[in-house]
Amino acid sequence: MNKLYLWGGILTVLMVGATYMAIGMTKGGLNGDIVNTLAVLGAIAIAVITIWVVVKYVRQMQTDTASGELAEENWDGIGEYKNDLPIGWAVMFLGTMVWGMWYFLLGYPVNAFSQIGQYNAEVKEKNKKFEAEYAQIKGERLVEMGESVFLANCTVCHGINADGMEGKAANLNQRIEKESVEYVIKHGSNNKLLGMEMPMPDRNGLFNANTGALITDAEIETVAAYVANGFQGAGADIFAGTCAGCHGPDGRGMPSVAPNIREFTTDLVVNVLTYGKKGAIGKMPALDMLNKKQKEAAAAYVISISKGE
């Protein structure tokens, strides 16, 4: 027997033996778990295939000579032969495909046990108990709960004082800042602040009814300052002619039309936490880890600090 085949056989026996010993030294062995069984069989298969593929091609390099029809293409005088795909490679490829489909659909189905699935199920059950236990919390207790939610999830960006940490996030001590108003007017908005797709057009779709023309840069700056200052100062006429048609004459919004831009509301904050928001500073991600009651509590807290309570 060729020494190469002998060493291949010896390595195969050693690898399979090492795998068997590793299982035997493990407390409980395979425990009858199909996943453990498949993992061991896969390890053995990989070891055996690797060893014998190496043996085959090393042996082939020792004995084979080039033959067949050369392809017309060549690179620096080096060409390739027009050889058919080796049967072994084709069989292994098809076998791997068949095994993969079997493993996914039958060997270890997508609905089988997993730690991630168990964790998600436990979180879902815990959230149900949480919502049932805290469903009736209102008033000051809801604000206190919201403060805890805010401190745990929001301070990393908005800061412990909710001031946005020098522009890194929105300042929640007031409803909206001048820069944010200007950005929305110039670029439009589609942030699902009403809980649905209800985009606001950019400046090319905003007409000032008082002048009959598109809103100008000077008007944008004036009305942005007016809104950010709590609807005080110059700009009331521009707001009335350009913005009031959707946001209402007092800026408190209209159902299914435009959000409240005078003050925070529960629905507004909950929608931002649910869908995220893109604005002048950047993009805030949705906080999917919070349940409905936690979002409601966070909204109550944000409303309280924006009013200085």
Read off the pLDDT of residues 168-179 as tens digits, 9 standing for 90 and up. Answer: 899 999 999 999
Rounded Cα–Cα distance for residues 9 and 291 (Å): 59
Residue 24 neighbours by CB under 8 Å, 6+ apart: none
| pLDDT attached to residue 141 | 92
Residue 302 · residue 164 · CB < 8 Å: no
Rounded Cα–Cα distance for residues 246 and 248 (Å): 6
| pLDDT attached to residue 74 | 78
> Mean of the pLDDT values across residues 129-138?
83
Q: Give residue 286's pLDDT band: very low, low, confident or very high (50, 70, 90).
A: very high
The domain ranges of the chain are 3-64+84-112, 126-306
Query: For 126-306, CATH number?
Result: 1.10.760.10
| pLDDT attached to residue 32 | 65
Residue 189, Cβ density class (10 Å: 0-12 exposed, 13-18 middle, ≥19 buried): buried
Tens digit of pLDDT for each residue in 221-235? Answer: 999 999 999 999 999
Residue 308, Cβ density class (10 Å: 0-12 exposed, 13-18 middle, ≥19 buried): exposed
pTM exceeds 0.75: no
3-class state of residue 213 by DSSP = strand
